Amino acid sequence: AAFDEGFVPSNLEELGQAVQACRRCPLWRDATQGVCGAGPKKARLMIVGEQPGDQEDLAGRPFVGPAGKVLDAALEEARIDRDDVFVTNAVKHFKHEPRGKRRLHRTPATSEVRACRWWLDAERRLVKPKVIVTLGGTAALAVLGRPVAVTKERGEPIGLADGARALLTVHPSYLLRIPEEAAKAAERERFVADLKRVRTLL
């Protein structure tokens, strides 16, 4: 069982099943299911988001909703094939609050990110990516293990203890929230430029 401290998943399938029994934090209670990473089991590139959203929670797969569409388009523009990427999240269960019929995203607490890091670290050990792209502050916190100002540390590769390199960038949901079209386009360009930079590190 996943809450047995001695348990170590020996492959991604085992990990994906075990996370359904995770009780390391309370977020499992309100979620449909745990959503682990998806992609080639030895991908050179790992992309880490924050947590599953409404659609990911229902589908059981990461980045299939609106933010996923933004990510897919940016990857395509940067000429990175998503099929070559292991895409995952810092937190595996959807944290939300009801708002009418909708379920509104809530940012995971640092304690929840810390608790869930056990799963992300297991994914990192199994996949062994050369480069890890973090999308937004939660992912950066989870990968680097410290609070990060993404705008300050964005775009320059950061060496990690396991030999991989992290590249920090913004979250695609942030791009979706920019109201003004010109500003949105400019930020999107920067996001694509960060992804193009990734190709030079692989």
Comparison of 7 and 105: residue with beta carbon closer to ligand URA = 105
The residue with tokens 């609106």 is 66
CB of 14 to ligand URA, least distance (A): 21
108 contributes a contact to ligand URA by CB under 6 A: no
Q: Which of 37, 39, 62, 108 binds ligand URA (CB under 6 A)?
A: 62
59: amino acid identity, one letter: A
Binding mask 127-166 for ligand URA (x = CB under 6 A): ----------------------------------------
Comparison of 4 and 187: residue with beta carbon closer to ligand URA = 187
Residues 6+ apart with CB under 8 A from 138: 50, 51, 90, 91, 107, 108, 113
Query: Do the beta carbons of residue 53 and residue 162 sit within 8 Å?
Result: no
What distance in Å separates the CA atoms of residue 86 and residue 90, rounded to the nearest whole number?
13
Binding mask 8-47 for ligand URA (x = CB under 6 A): ----------------------------------------
169 contributes a contact to ligand URA by CB under 6 A: no
112 contributes a contact to ligand URA by CB under 6 A: no
> Would you call 5 helix, strand, or coil by DSSP?
coil
What distance in Å separates the CA atoms of residue 194 and residue 163, rounded to the nearest whole number?
20
CB of 136 to ligand URA, least distance (A): 7
**HSE-CB of 146 using CA atoms within 13 angstroms:** 5
Q: Which of 2, 9, 50, 85 binds ligand URA (CB under 6 A)?
A: 50
- Considering only the stretches 49-57, 108-116, 158-166, 188-196, report the one whose residues sit in contact with ligand URA under the rule CB under 6 A: 49-57
Torsion sign over Cα 33, 59, 135, 17: positive
Query: Do the beta carbons of residue 111 and residue 71 sit within 8 Å?
Result: no
What distance in Å separates the CA atoms of residue 160 and residue 166, rounded to the nearest whole number?
7
Comparison of 7 and 66: residue with beta carbon closer to ligand URA = 66
Interacting residues with ligand URA (CB under 6 A)? 49-53, 56, 62-63, 65, 67-68, 89, 173
